[in-house]
A and B are shown apart, each in its own frame.
Chain A
Amino acid sequence: MFIEQLINGLTLGSIYALFALGYTMVYGILLMINFAHSEIFMVGAYIGFLVLFSIPVFCPQLLPVYFLLYFILPMLGAGLLAVIIEKIAYKPLRHACRLSPLISAIGVSIFLQNLIMLTVGAQSKTYPEKLPIMQFDFFGVQISSLQIFIFGLSILLMIILHIFISKTKMGKAMRAVAENHIVAQLMGINVNTIISLVFLIGGGLGGIAGVLNGLYYGSIKYNMGFLPGIKAFTAAVLGGIGNIKGAMAGGFILGIAETLAAGYISSENKDIIAFVILILVLLFKPSGIFGKEVTEKI
């Protein structure tokens, strides 16, 4: 029972972790809470839905193609949307007071939610079950292939991201911009390009998280981003906002905490518990559980 809860927590946690990366990367580079990130997640899920919906019959030979369409398209779509949002709604406010971009982001959030609601519909959509799901039994512990897949894909993406940021030229430039915009420019780094790159990557990961969330729960809705968004943000703060490894850790911690709380305290009040965790972390550990010393931005 406990092991199963833990596995559920890890699955949920990997979705939160992917989702949290977008919050933390944007905060690291622009010091703003990208409130519209929860809508990127939602739009990613809808793009995945459209792709899956338009696959007429499932034929196993084409699995790699499906995979590509099913994950790459939402990733690209969500990433590009995030880049466009930044250009339109945040860039003009880069030198405004701190709350202005947050308000603008809320405007974007309202707009996107209502756009999807009005165009696709207010009812929740069932995610088509076209990918085969198997149940495994490990010494009495039930695991589904979907859980393994979600966990595996998330870990893979996080490893790729980690390598990208620590080893590649663009990754290093991202860290440089996060530390100091002006000095980064003096190195010949185009800060606007790097900011767009951050939104592309963060948005792409958010979009994938949306697809995985749709797969896991089996349905999507225009307002599906809000609650997981708050939780992913909590995960980002928990890990020390701006800190990429922290966001990954924070996502898993929150996912496990939530499933355990739902299993052992009250499943009805699990969201209250998540919000209380958020408030407590912001009040008492605003620099995250790893403390300021180790927090390296991006």
Chain B
Amino acid sequence: MRWIIGIIILLLLIVLPLAGYNCGNYYAIHVAGLVGIYCILCVGLNITIGYTGLLDLGFMAFCAIGAYTAALLSIKGIPFWITLPVSLFLGGFIRYLLGAPVLRLRGDYLAIVTLAFGEIVRLIANNFDWLTNGPKGLPRVGERIAEIQLFSLVFKNDLQFYYLIFFFLIGTILISYRLEHSRIGRALVAIREDELAAGLSGIDVPQIKSIAFVLSGMFGALAGAIYVHWIGFISPEMFTFWESVLLVSMIVIGGMGNIAGAILGVFLLVGIPEILRPVLGTKFVDYRMLIFGLIMIAVIIFRPEGILKSKRRTLELEERF
């Protein structure tokens, strides 16, 4: 039964945008693409926050690294299928360098270090004009970010990008799902519950944490690389601390530690506000952060496992009380 519903949703997600696009519903397609990008980010970040239990307050830094790498390379005319792996590698590598010392830290200190790192990346993007063109963003006047080309198909409009994003999102979900149910995933559960005991029972704690941390960052870079090709422009202010916090709140509200929760969080915090924007006007968009703040406090107090509970997380949380 669950399979059938899943397949129906999948088919709808493939067919509906096509229909919508033909009816001229361009805005909806754009929102759908945006939701897809955020889903990749959140499913990726969920590996750090949900599976590994580490609060990352600077995740957008890796999105920025991915985006800037892709932008800088494709301005030089290098095709997407080469810039993408380079972006992923660079994102993962920097994440690895950050993780090596940082993963030893206590939870709240780790959160602050990731925050600081996120701000450093944004400030570098903002201040190092020779590389990033500073606050004016990339591409510079007269430059152009190369289009994504797949055989003879050139990705240009929102619908095409929607499918591209959809494809990568499915991939992200599959990898994340496989990770959760693999040996590494089980080791992560053990580490989250009792790091000392996990270490004593033969789990290489630093290595397992590092794998999850790096993988998580690579999804951030992936989202950034696709996004910059889609929108064709980036600037440092897209990667502020509050963007990172928004991602965290999506995961907290949706439900830490499960993919469906992360996706639900994106729908609630990005999808619905964007859909309602034309209906309720910009006033509503202004108030949404205010409301998210309140929802975040309420969720963490009254339903710490989030709206969609992960079975394991629920048991863990109950055990603490």
Is A in direct contact with B (CB under 8 Å) within the complex? yes
Residue positions of A touching B, CB distance < 8 A = 32-33, 88-89, 92-93, 95-100, 102-104, 106-115, 118, 226, 230, 233, 268-269, 271-272, 275-276, 278-279, 282-283, 286
A279 & B293 in contact (Cβ 8 Å cutoff): no
A118 & B286 in contact (Cβ 8 Å cutoff): yes
A98 & B123 in contact (Cβ 8 Å cutoff): no
A282 & B123 in contact (Cβ 8 Å cutoff): no
Q: How far is the CB of B60 from chain A (nearest CB, A)?
A: 15
- Leading 7 A-B pairs by shortest Cβ distance: A111-B293, A107-B296, A110-B293, A107-B297, A114-B290, A275-B116, A114-B289
Cα of A115 to Cα of B127 in the assembled complex, Å: 30
What 7 new A-B contacts, CB under 8 Å, besides A111-B297, A226-B241, A279-B120? A100-B304, A118-B290, A230-B112, A230-B115, A230-B116, A269-B127, A278-B116
A108: chain B residues within 8 A (beta carbon):
293, 297
B290 & A111 in contact (Cβ 8 Å cutoff): yes
Binds A, one of B27-35, B103-111, B166-174: B103-111
Cα of A233 to Cα of B107 in the assembled complex, Å: 16
A97 & B296 in contact (Cβ 8 Å cutoff): no
Cα of A115 to Cα of B296 in the assembled complex, Å: 15
B2 at the interface (CB under 8 A from A): no
A98: chain B residues within 8 A (beta carbon):
106-108
Cα of A42 to Cα of B61 in the assembled complex, Å: 26
Q: Name the prevailing secondary structure of the A interface residues.
A: helix
What is the chain A residue whose CB lies nearest that of B245? A106
B297 & A88 in contact (Cβ 8 Å cutoff): yes
Chain A to chain B contacts (Cβ below 8 Å), 19 pairs: A32-B108, A95-B320, A97-B320, A99-B53, A99-B55, A99-B108, A102-B111, A104-B297, A106-B248, A107-B295, A111-B294, A113-B289, A114-B293, A230-B115, A271-B119, A275-B120, A276-B120, A278-B113, A282-B112
B321 & A95 in contact (Cβ 8 Å cutoff): yes
Q: Name the prevailing secondary structure of the B interface residues.
A: helix
Query: Interface extent on B, as a size class?
Result: 35 or more
B89 at the interface (CB under 8 A from A): no
B293 & A275 in contact (Cβ 8 Å cutoff): no
A278 & B112 in contact (Cβ 8 Å cutoff): yes
A118 & B113 in contact (Cβ 8 Å cutoff): no
**Most chain A beta carbons < 10 A, residue from B105, B106, B109:** B109
A99 & B107 in contact (Cβ 8 Å cutoff): yes
A96: chain B residues within 8 A (beta carbon):
300, 304, 320-321
B290 & A103 in contact (Cβ 8 Å cutoff): no
Also in contact, A275 and B101, with CB within 8 A (given A33-B108, A100-B300, A107-B296): no
Also in contact, A93 and B301, with CB within 8 A (given A98-B107, A106-B245, A110-B289): yes
A95: chain B residues within 8 A (beta carbon):
320-321
A93 & B116 in contact (Cβ 8 Å cutoff): no
B249 at the interface (CB under 8 A from A): yes
B290 & A282 in contact (Cβ 8 Å cutoff): no
Cα of A100 to Cα of B299 in the assembled complex, Å: 10
What is the chain A residue whose CB lies nearest that of B129? A268
B81 at the interface (CB under 8 A from A): no
Q: How far is the CB of A55 from chain B (nearest CB, A)?
A: 30
B290 & A115 in contact (Cβ 8 Å cutoff): yes
B55 & A282 in contact (Cβ 8 Å cutoff): no
Cα of A272 to Cα of B123 in the assembled complex, Å: 7
B102 at the interface (CB under 8 A from A): yes
A283 & B102 in contact (Cβ 8 Å cutoff): yes
A283: chain B residues within 8 A (beta carbon):
101-102, 105, 113
Q: For residues 250 through 302 of chain B, which have their beta carbon under 8 Å from a beta carbon of chain A?
A: 252, 286-287, 289-290, 292-297, 300-301
B124 at the interface (CB under 8 A from A): yes
Q: How far is the CB of B39 from chain A (nearest CB, A)?
A: 21
Cα of A272 to Cα of B127 in the assembled complex, Å: 10
**Most chain A beta carbons < 10 A, residue from B53, B115, B287:** B115
What is the chain A residue whose CB lies nearest that of B128? A269
Q: How far is the CB of A247 from chain B (nearest CB, A)?
A: 15
A92: chain B residues within 8 A (beta carbon):
301
B124 & A104 in contact (Cβ 8 Å cutoff): no
A279 & B119 in contact (Cβ 8 Å cutoff): no
B96 at the interface (CB under 8 A from A): no
B107: chain A residues within 8 A (beta carbon):
98-99
B117 at the interface (CB under 8 A from A): yes
What is the chain A residue whose CB lies nearest that of B320? A97
B297 & A102 in contact (Cβ 8 Å cutoff): no
What is the chain A residue whose CB lies nearest that of B288? A114
B112: chain A residues within 8 A (beta carbon):
33, 230, 233, 278, 282
A118 & B287 in contact (Cβ 8 Å cutoff): yes
What is the chain B residue whose CB lies nearest that of A33? B108
What is the chain A residue whose CB lies nearest that of B246? A110
B196 at the interface (CB under 8 A from A): no
B295: chain A residues within 8 A (beta carbon):
107
Cα of A112 to Cα of B294 in the assembled complex, Å: 10
B231: chain A residues within 8 A (beta carbon):
none
Cα of A86 to Cα of B120 in the assembled complex, Å: 30
A102 & B55 in contact (Cβ 8 Å cutoff): yes
A89: chain B residues within 8 A (beta carbon):
297, 301
A282: chain B residues within 8 A (beta carbon):
105, 109, 112-113, 116
B287: chain A residues within 8 A (beta carbon):
114, 118
B8 at the interface (CB under 8 A from A): no
